[in-house]
Chain A
Amino acid sequence: MTCAEVQLLLSEYIEKSLDAIRMKAVEIHLLACPDCRAETEGFMDCIRQISELPLLDPPIGFTQRVMAHVREIESRPSGWRRILAPFRIGVPIQATALVLVAVVAVFLYQKESQIRGNPASPAIPSILPSQPLSDDRSDDHFAGKPEQSRAAAEPAPASPKQSSPTASAIQSAEVRKKTAAGTEQVKTKTPSPSNAEPSSAGDVKNPVSRRGPIPAQEVATGMGGLQSSGDSFRVGPPIGGSARPGFFLPERFLSPIAEPSADAEFIVRRRETQRHDQDGIARSEAARQSAESDIAPAIAKQSPASPSSSSSPVNLREIRWFSVPADQYDQFRKDLASEASIDSEKTIAPSEREFAQKSNRELLIKVIIVSPPAER
């Protein structure tokens, strides 16, 4: 072993932490090497100096001072941990989660009721085509369309004006509430520009009927921003005289609690082709014409106020209520199927239907409209 090697090991040699073989080797070297012995003594001296340093006592009252500060920190509420410290044991996580879920549920429920209760609420963008187009545009758009005159095929004879489905759900409901005058009011309201229905023009210009209207009476509409939904979803123009004033609750009462139980329920999906953006009118028009679509154009109408709504949330639902004479249920269903694809339905039991027919009762039909799927 050289001196350099030995000196590297001296520290450990002094502490006797070397393995036996190297301990012996260093020992042998030290016996023969005075320089390394001196070095070893230097190290030992050094270690001894440190280990002989007296241990001082901390200043008097050190612990008390530290603890005084500790209690100060303790009493000072800093952050969540300190605030929650007393509850840490008392409130199990499950209970906290339960309370949280309950709060969220109540909140959502209230929100939902609000939206249902206020159809004009701007909270929900009118994703569904609800807004009538401006007059010139609708003319432009629908003048040459194979728009059918519903009056022609309408089972219940009614004037074209009456057959026009312009009356919004709310208007209809309110109008109907006003007893006998209801029909008159519908008539007067029909031509108002805000409710201008392209079919009015179509009726005149192109009276070729493609399909019969759905012999249903829309009575209420769920979700907000769908005031003129009667326009956009042409299932259920008011049937002349069939509206029984006050028969149905106004929409705002159709809260989840007061909601009447429907005789039949449909979940339908608007067809993709039935929609177009404001800036895609021409394209949609062409497509529509070429396809000779049987679909009422009104359903494809997009709110001008929300041109981007076609890509906005698709799961937004709209709930419509229709009252249909029992004997026209099949017709209604057929028309609904042509208007939108039926995802699922809870149809009325035949016996019940027969009974309704006998008692001359109208069926209450709930239609849940889901927007088309997002894939585009």
Chain B
Amino acid sequence: MNRSNLTKEMVADGISDAECVRRVQRGEADAFEILVRRHEKTIFNLVYRMLGDAEEAAEVSQEVFLSAFRAAGQFRGDANFSTWLYRIAINHASTRRKTLNSRQRKVVPIESADSLHDPEPGPLEILEKQEIREKVQFALNQLEPDDAAVILLRDLQDVSYSEVAQVLEIPVGTVKSRLHRARQALKSRLQSYFSAERKAV
């Protein structure tokens, strides 16, 4: 835990995450509210991008925080609270994604996915902004949960390599190679969409 992490943990009210957790461990449930407020956006967005569904994401995020509260006694403070929370979030999101995927596959066969997303000609601006995001999200959903997680932590949340390594409980070297592989997978998916688009345009 370096200095920058510690300072990052401190917020306006001057109570660090670690102190909040200690209070929660002493039975002050109210201290947990500080933690929820501080991390809800990060966790919600991480889960949302892993699932691609805001409603599901809200539900899972809530579960993430409740799990964290229940397990607060096990948090020993040898890692950042955020690291610990990310790990819980990724576990929950990965589990939920498996059930969602098996449900979705019944409804939307994979072969039809491309044709479904074959862009209907419309205003270019909408396609530029909205459609691209949808495609990115769709591509993320197609990745392995671990690959999606490493990309989102690094590129969306800007989490350092060492913290990503702690979250996923793998060595930093493995983080780098996994990140590279995940980006490659995402790139090839996105490129196939974009090349299809260009053809259509």
Contact = CB atoms under 8 A, between A and B. Distances in A.
Interface of A: 8, 10-12, 17, 42-43, 45-47, 49-51, 53-59, 62-63, 65-67, 69-71, 73-74, 81, 85-86, 88
A62 B180 CA distance: 35
Contact of B176 (A11, A70, A73): A11
Given A46-B190, A65-B62, A70-B66, A51 B180 contact: no
B66 A66 contact: yes
Contacts of A71: 29
Q: Which one of B45, B62, B187 has the greatest number of beta carbons of chain A within 10 Å? A: B187
Interface of B is mostly: helix
B62 A69 contact: yes
Contact of B183 (A46, A56, A69, A85): A46
B33 interface: yes
B97 interface: no
Given A49-B132, A73-B70, A85-B27, A58 B58 contact: yes
Contact of B61 (A10, A55, A58, A67): A58
Contacts of B140: 50
A64 B146 CA distance: 30
Nearest to A82: B27
Interface stretch (B14-22, B112-120, B149-157): B149-157
A69 to B, nearest CB: 5
B44 A58 contact: yes
A26 to B, nearest CB: 13
* Interface residue range, chain B: 35 or more
Interface string B62-76: 100110011001000
Nearest to B44: A58
A97 B35 CA distance: 37
Interface string B177-189: 0011001101100
Contacts of B170: none
Contacts of A63: 33, 36-37, 40
A307 B158 CA distance: 79
A62 B40 contact: yes
A49 B136 contact: yes
Contacts of B32: 67, 70
Nearest to B158: A51
Contacts of A56: 44-45, 48, 54
A53 B33 contact: no
Given A50-B151, A53-B137, A62-B44, 10 more contacts: A17-B176, A43-B184, A45-B187, A50-B140, A55-B45, A59-B54, A62-B40, A62-B62, A63-B33, A69-B66
A11 B179 CA distance: 8
A53 B49 contact: yes
B98 interface: no
